[in-house]
Structure 1
Amino acid sequence: MATPYPWHPWTTDLALKEDGQRVDLTDNNFEWWYFDTIMDDGSTCVITFLSKPPFLKGPTAPILQFNISPPNGPYIQKMVLPDAGSYSASSEHCSVTMGDNRVEGDLHTYHIHARAEGIEADLTLKRVVPGWREGPFLPPQVAAQSWLGEQVVIPSGTAQGTLTYNGGTHRVKGTCYHDHQWGSAGAQQPGAQGNKITSWYWGRIQAGDHAVVMAQVYDTAGPAMTMWMLARGTAITFDDTLTALSVTPKGGTPRVPATLDIAWSPGAAPGAAPPLGTVSFSLSSTQEIASFSDGGYLRFVCPVTMTSDFAGETFSQDGHAVWEIMNFS
């Protein structure tokens, strides 16, 4: 259901446990903690702690997905498969360990250590924009009924630390994002009954003191769900009205467009309040920084120019984005 104007998340008053383990370790359930950074030197680092392969039934089988893209040259992608006995996750707060890799955080500050063959990261992430929850907090037995649940913990923040790659250790600083997702392989997919989820686009954009987190999910009938967050400083505007978000693929292939033109125009739906303006930008797939599931999942980084006349604030700001394509078929 669409959130009424003035469009805000359910709450930004999160409890520590909301970034702890959300579902029990069973053959049906899966969970992951995702962190991405874009550094001032042009490098990127994305680290994901997964309890097991998502959307599949099976026992706990931890995975560390670890990607670094240097300022120049091809990206480096590693997948670490620690022993299941080395995996632990606290239900009280974010504290995940798998083998020699770990993340610890308290909704505000996170410390990450990750290591794979030839690469290593020691990073501290700090929240700028508050995390938020779209609906009520779900206890484990209810969360486990979700096809895919999400908690956006750091929509926009800062990162600093060291990245080791190509034989050298580099001191870095930049921006960051963190979310936390969970679900059950046996849960019913969202959307209209009988329609299957086929794909999604997701992105996080930082342009000056403006940040956007957006997603468009598709099923066999077309666009099925949307999510949009615009932060101006630390003030959040949230919208899940399907008709407010326009996502237009251009060029490339049907599975991997060359660009995505994004425009958010709240109040533009028939019978709704007069439009309050538009926020727009384009995402490019020129620079790939990750590929999983035989190319079914792709991640990119790109420069962006965000323009807006929303709510009486007119601006054009340059920035950057991490965005992804997920194809289930």
Structure 2
Amino acid sequence: MKKQKIIRMLPILFLLFISSSCMRLYTGSYAQTDFTLDQPNELGPTVQKWEDGLRTSGENGELEWWYFDAKFNDGSLFVCYFYKIHPIKNIYFIGMNYNNPDGEELFLMKFFNEEEVYFSKDSCNVSMGDNYFRGNLKEYEIYLTDQDFEGFGIQIKLESNLKPYRPQDGIIKAGEDYFAWLAAVPNGVAKAKIIRKGKTLEVQGSGYHDHNWGNTPLQKLFENWVWFRGESGEYTVIASELNTSAKRGGYSIPILYMANKDNVLINRFGTNGLFTKYSNRIENVYNKKNEPLFSKLEMITTDGEIITIEGKDIIDNADMFKRAPLPSYLSWVLPLLKISSKFSSIDPHYTRFDSDLRLSIDDTTFQGHGVLEIMDLK
């Protein structure tokens, strides 16, 4: 009888073992280096073209992507990213979202082989197949062929209105592990020709481009982050808070940038006179076991500026285990992660909101709009 009970328990014990092993693989070892206040600050305030070029070398664990989003005058939203990651070997892909004014959403991904891609170290010059992302910090061209994206194609010209921005060197390190971010175009004019279902549409709007890279999987550095980019009249705002992994100290690292065409008005990084407040808990979007997440963020500086960001309409919400960018030869990983997640609290999601922005500066209030992103890595 005792032997039969043990036999019946074997499948459960096996699943628990797989769960523990996969989650350890996902989150990293127990001994990890904390973040510290001493962060890289050697490059100086002027961003160089090479900083938007290739920054990784192809080592295991590295990741890098070039991102663009735009809100066009017809109410449509477009996002694309050219991605390079190296979990075991190099993986290259382009992801894109298009939300048209009628509420239709298109999400597509396309993978590429090693011989189909090119990256320059001198400037942003990335190509994958016939698709490309090129620029020099002032002007960019982005092209997706409709042959790769189920009849959707787009040709974009982006002209920057502001100088590039990065907090210090843009690199946040914990020991030898790091994640980096460069807002190459904090705000610009985006003009696009869109091919959709055989028809061509010309639109114009507000565009943004940033560049991210690092040498370790993001979930081994962070629990989650919130990020926002938007504008109100002459002002452009980029706001973020990085919440580091408990194994890395469990710190919150806020970032706030505000500028117009003449000056950078706010440039705060870390706890340098910057405070954050969250409200409007998100309900009925995530699984019940998910930790609380919020769609309203207020940032307050010691100089009295108040920036209020409030997510309104969800324009993208993805279970990251279902949307994970893995080619066929790594497809076996996802079922294991999904099974493991049922026995743990890990439930990574990515959510993007069309958002309202309110600025309170010198007793004057300005209204605006933007995009709020929540990256929940665990």
Fold in common (TM above 0.5): yes
Taking the TM superposition and a 5 Å limit, the aligned residue runs for 1:293-312 are 293=320, 294=322, 296-309=348-361, 312=362
Query: Is the contact made by 2:241 and 2:255 (CA closer than 8 Å) also made in structure 1?
Result: yes
Q: Distance in 1 between matches of 2:291 and 2:75?
A: 23
Alignment-derived partner of residue 320 in structure 1? 369
Query: Is the contact made by 1:130 and 1:154 (CA closer than 8 Å) also made in structure 2?
Result: yes
Q: Distance in 2 between matches of 1:185 and 1:88?
A: 22
Query: Is the contact made by 2:225 and 2:240 (CA closer than 8 Å) also made in structure 1?
Result: yes
Taking the TM superposition and a 5 Å limit, the aligned residue runs for 1:1-329 are 11-52=44-85, 57-115=87-145, 116-136=149-169, 145-185=176-216, 197-218=222-243, 219-220=245-246, 224-236=252-264, 237-242=266-271, 243-253=274-284, 255=290, 260-267=295-302, 275-284=303-312, 286-289=313-316, 291=318, 293=320, 294=322, 296-309=348-361, 312=362, 314-317=364-367, 319-329=368-378
Q: Distance in 1 between matches of 2:131 and 2:91?
A: 14
Query: Is the contact made by 2:92 and 2:114 (CA closer than 8 Å) also made in structure 1?
Result: yes
Is the radius of gyration larger for structure 1 or structure 2? 2
Q: Distance in 1 between matches of 2:309 and 2:218?
A: 35
Aligned AA for 2:60?
D
Q: Distance in 2 between matches of 1:71 and 1:303?
A: 16
Q: Distance in 2 between matches of 1:157 and 1:215?
A: 19
Q: Distance in 2 between matches of 1:25 and 1:298?
A: 26
Q: Distance in 1 between matches of 2:159 and 2:188?
A: 5
Query: Is the contact made by 2:95 and 2:108 (CA closer than 8 Å) also made in structure 1?
Result: yes
Q: Distance in 1 between matches of 2:270 and 2:101?
A: 37
Question: 1:299/1:108 Cα in 2 relative to 1: closer, same or farther (>3 Å)?
Answer: farther
C-alpha deviations, 1:24-44, integer Å up to 9, x for none? 123332211011111111111
Q: TM-score, normalised by structure 2?
A: 0.71
Aligned AA for 1:314?
T
Query: Is the contact made by 1:63 and 1:80 (CA closer than 8 Å) also made in structure 2?
Result: yes
Q: Distance in 2 between matches of 1:234 and 1:166?
A: 42
Query: Is the contact made by 2:161 and 2:187 (CA closer than 8 Å) also made in structure 1?
Result: yes
Question: 1:290/1:95 Cα in 2 relative to 1: closer, same or farther (>3 Å)?
Answer: farther
Question: 1:299/1:166 Cα in 2 relative to 1: closer, same or farther (>3 Å)?
Answer: farther
Measure how far apart 1:152 and its partner are: 1.2
Q: Count the aligned residue pairs.
A: 301
Q: Distance in 2 between matches of 1:246 and 1:167?
A: 47
Question: 1:88/1:71 Cα in 2 relative to 1: closer, same or farther (>3 Å)?
Answer: same
Q: Distance in 1 between matches of 2:186 and 2:178?
A: 22
| Structure 1: runs of 5+ lacking an equivalent | 4-8, 191-196, 268-274
C-alpha deviations, 1:301-321, integer Å up to 9, x for none? 424141312xx261222x321
Aligned AA for 1:276?
G
Q: Distance in 1 between matches of 2:174 and 2:93?
A: 21
Query: Is the contact made by 2:167 and 2:269 (CA closer than 8 Å) also made in structure 1?
Result: no
Measure how far apart 1:299 and its partner are: 3.9
Measure how far apart 1:322 and its partner are: 1.5
Measure how far apart 1:231 and its partner are: 1.6
| Structure 2: runs of 5+ lacking an equivalent | 1-35, 324-347
Q: Distance in 2 between matches of 1:168 and 1:144?
A: 52
Question: 1:27/1:239 Cα in 2 relative to 1: closer, same or farther (>3 Å)?
Answer: same
Query: Is the contact made by 2:355 and 2:371 (CA closer than 8 Å) also made in structure 1?
Result: no
C-alpha deviations, 1:85-120, integer Å up to 9, x for none? 111110000000111110110000000001311211
